[in-house]
Amino acid sequence: MSLHTSGLRGRLRTALVLLPVLPLLTALTACGSGEGSPPVAGALASPAPADDPVAGVRAVESIAALLPAEVRKAGSLRLGGSVGSPPSAYYPKGQDKPPAGQDIDIATAVAKVLGLKLERQDASFETILPALGSGKYDVGTGNFGVTTERLKSVDFVTYINDGQGFAVKTGSTTLTGQVSDLTQLCGLTIGTGAGTTFEKTLTAKKEVCAAAGKKPYEVKVFSEPGAVTTALQQGRIDVVMSTINGLRHQAAQPAAQTTFLGEYHRLDVGFAFKKGSPLTPAFQAAVNELIKDGTYARILKKWGTTPSAIDTSQINPAEHT
């Protein structure tokens, strides 16, 4: 996130985001479950819940005072976010805007506490973190998981705990029960999103099958929303690895015909910033204010993600192992 003193008023516009969509079949791209990962695909775009827990949020002067002076003067931030599937971020009416979801509500509420306008720009999941470094965006959302590797170049302010999970086509007997060890995947074809923690985890640990004397698993990576789920339904892959919340939400939709196999690995998820960004203390304080006043709990209840609630926001916490 680049905050330049000169010309900030004209350039400091934020694109708001957060993790893929759901037209007929959608795919999960964000491992926000931590990593950046795209959301899971549902079967049909579903209407957003009608309640609006963000409506009553007001600016808190003591927290807004934590922002750099030039940001307060500009009154806005550029937010780059990915939109994929519920509950993180998706288009309830297909490709029609505006997007809705847990990430959208949390980002909007934080901006209101800070007295800022978020100028949202939808972006593909894999392009957001690099764009923070170049100064294109001030903050990024996309169900980005906090990992040791990412912390080398990006700062995070956490707002939820998601993670990695697996799902299969309903009725499949290829894989049943919770996946607690990747050797359970040996000999199978796994689909996941490009540039996600899922892809990195599967690639980094591919040797576990050979070490166990088993046939390696194959990883197929998809960059387009919906492609992973489509491949699963068509039998081109055996299992999907994506975010816990996304896969659980998808499996709850009868038309999706997927079965959630449970959690594999938890990850903190956060707002992403360029390394060294002066915005992190203000964002952390804003998230904690929302937790304190109950808005945060109401947002998670709205989107069915209460089990992923955090007690307090952190800046750059260590990756869960």
Choose between 202 and 51: higher pLDDT: 202
pLDDT tens track for 22-75: 332 333 434 444 344 444 443 345 677 888 999 999 999 999 999 999 999 999
Q: Judge if pTM exceeds 0.85.
A: no
Task: Please tell me the predicted confidence (pLDDT) of residue 38.
Answer: 43
Q: Please determine, for residue 296, whether its predicted confidence score (pLDDT) is greater than 90.
A: yes
Task: Please tell me the predicted confidence (pLDDT) of residue 95.
Answer: 65
Please state, as a whole number, how many other Cβ atoms lie within 10 Å of the Cβ of residue 4: 10
Hey, which CATH number is domain 1-316, 3.40.190.10, 3.30.300.130, 1.10.10.10, 3.20.20.70?
3.40.190.10
Q: How far is CA 95 from CA 20, 50, 98, 99, in A?
A: 11, 19, 9, 9
**Complete DSSP assignment for 229-277:** HHHHHTTS-SEEEEEHHHHHHHHTSGGG-EEEEEEEEEEEEEEEEETT-
pLDDT tens track for 104-148: 999 999 999 999 999 999 998 889 999 999 999 999 999 999 999
